Chain A
Amino acid sequence: MNMVVCCKQVIDPEAPPASFSIDSAANKVIPPAGIPPVVNPFDEQAVEAALRVKDAIGGKITVISLGVNLTRDVIKKPLSMGADELILLEDEAFEGGDSWSTAYALAMAIKKVGEYDIIFCGRQASDWDAGQVGLGIAEILGIPSVTVAKKAEVINGKARVERVVADGYEIVEVTLPALITITNELGEARYPTLRGIMAAAKKQPIIWKPADIEVESSQIGAAGRRAKLVKLFQPVREGKCEIIEGDDVADTAAKLAMKLRGLKVI
């Protein structure tokens, strides 16, 4: 099985809300001081999904990441988990893109990788929360896709995928090659082993520039955007919370209940 996993480096989505701030002149998020970036958590789980397939039937896992200032320690994590190769599309020209230009560059890189049976992506990147790039890659490559998967296995040359829906899940069979997006219900991604970390330290990522993947410069990064970001801002919260206190817990409980009765919600 030849597998490709697309991994994006993002600011840590679980950093405390108070550490979040925006440079409103530039319409950009200011990376929180002292909190290192992470591999988008869903993408880590996409790596885990690929590793489970590899554990079951063998195969090769190539990780691709597009971005600038990719922190080596962070972006090499998939390698230390057990992925075989890391390709970075690291160039200013790729920067400032939207779903379109990102999907296009990643799809062209995957074409250059050549052989692939399954491409795994995260269900969404935890910065822009768009959930589009995976489907864009599938559309550009002309392959089928299954989104929001909590399990993916290969059986008789097809992928058998559990796709999460509102009231449970569907078991979907898809022909290969296919693109599958992974959700957190897959379960936790494995921790890198010491051996994995040492092997990853020795491996050098392969760096591809726009010319290497034969993309038109008008189609990538900021130049290839179709969506215009007009404004980025933090929502204001009114935040007026009345803290209920009583003589003892029974009293507090009674006060809370009466308060809710007063609001006519119970």
Chain B
Amino acid sequence: MAEYKGVMVLGEVIDGKLAAIATEILGCGRRLADELKEELSCILMGGEVAKVADEVIAFGADKVYIAEDSLLKDYRTDSYIVVTEKIVQEATPRILLLGQTAVGRDLAPKLAFRLGTSLATDCLELEVDTEAKLLSATRSVYGGNARAIFTSESLPQMATARQKAMSPLERDDSRKGETISVKVEIDPAEIRTNVIEKVKEEAVGIKLEDASIIVSGGRGIGGPEGFKQLEELAKILKGAVGASRPPCDNGWTPTTAQVGLTGKIVAPDLYIAVAISGASQHLAGCSGSKNIVAINRDAEANIFKEACLGVVTDWKQIIPPFTEKVRELMAG
């Protein structure tokens, strides 16, 4: 039996660009590989991905496996899994990391079951015991109320990392690495799903994940009109509008605005939580923010435990004068 060695990551490419999460898990993978004194490799899969191979090396990989095929243009479980399975079977990495994204969520568990190994999803921290060469994976569980540390002796040791939980390395274009092109053999008849259409629903303006300021509204906003006011504030701050789950479920704001465990993971410099109680599932998506400001009329609301600044009042009272003051400051 082949020896399991090295760390491998799956590098997602979105619209031809290396995804932020790919640089994050490369950074984490590099650290683990260095501690184990082993190699870091990366899989790139898609229609056209070879052009980001240099970038993957600059972000830490020693080796890049490139699988290009028109059948890999859209993510489909059945096509991606055969390619990943083949690469993993041949390269036999000790540790295999993916991002907790729409792709990672779908691919990683199925791949783990296919490979007969276990997987820790949505990890916040990954450490390796260099003696036992055992990966210890810290996950958020019970909606963020608790953390759990898991290990597994089955190989490869697999984990998916939560977005923005790991730090990328500084890009270094002088780094050297090797590229290997993988022969893709997919039988189209074996792909049992077909993507018929992709519907974009994102609000215009700055993407939530990229915004350095987010104004986020909760159930207490009460309806779509309130979100117009939050949009105005966000616009002045050159930020984006987010939301807890109820406003999305109620259609006051697009579902793509949802921040939290099952929504977007954000880590802006400033997160203004307006009329949000601070349920653990919401905090799971924003607790990485540098500064959280809470506006809530209930002084006992859990959000004040996470915030650095707070105002206890009806948001309808404070948001208009605050917006005006901010407008003044930003203009001046």
Contacts and interface: CB of A to CB of B under 8 A. Distances in A.
Nearest to A139: B113
Contacts of B139: 129
Interface in B72-120: 77-78, 101-102, 105-106, 109-110, 112-114, 117-120
A237 B318 contact: no
Most A C-beta atoms less than 10 A away, residue of B193, B281, B321: B193
Contact of B142 (A127, A166, A254, A257): A127
Given A129-B143, A171-B195, A229-B150, A263 B118 contact: no
Of the candidates A130, A146, A261, the one having the most CB atoms from chain B within 10 angstroms of its own CB is A130
Interface string B293-316: 110000100101111111111000
Dominant secondary structure at the A interface: mixed
Contact of B148 (A231, A240, A256): A231
Interface residues of B, number: 85
A174 to B, nearest CB: 5
Given A172-B195, A173-B196, A239-B305, A136 B113 contact: yes
A131 interface: yes
Contacts of B152: 226-228
Contacts of B264: 166
Interface residues of A, number: 80
A55 interface: no
Contacts of B302: 17
A140 B113 CA distance: 8
- For the residues of B in contact with A, the DSSP-based class is mixed
B109 A131 contact: yes
Given A136-B109, A168-B199, A170-B199, A148 B140 contact: no
A241 B245 contact: no
A164 interface: yes
Interface string B127-168: 000000000100111110111111111100000000000000
Contact of B149 (A100, A185, A230): A230
B106 A147 contact: yes
A77 B247 CA distance: 26
Contacts of B78: 144
Contacts of A124: 262
A13 interface: yes
Contacts of A170: 195, 197-199
A132 B121 contact: yes
Contacts of B322: 253, 256-257
Q: Which of A14, A132, A250 has the most CB of B within 10 A?
A: A132
A169 interface: yes
The 9 closest A-B pairs by CB, nearest first: A144-B192, A168-B201, A253-B321, A139-B113, A226-B118, A135-B109, A253-B322, A132-B109, A257-B325
Interface of B: 77-78, 101-102, 105-106, 109-110, 112-114, 117-122, 136, 139-143, 145-154, 192-202, 209, 213, 237, 245, 248-249, 255-256, 261-262, 264, 269-270, 279-281, 290-291, 293-294, 299, 302, 304-313, 317-318, 321-322, 324-326, 329-330
9 contacts: A174-B194, A234-B145, A234-B146, A235-B147, A241-B294, A250-B321, A257-B326, A257-B329, A260-B293
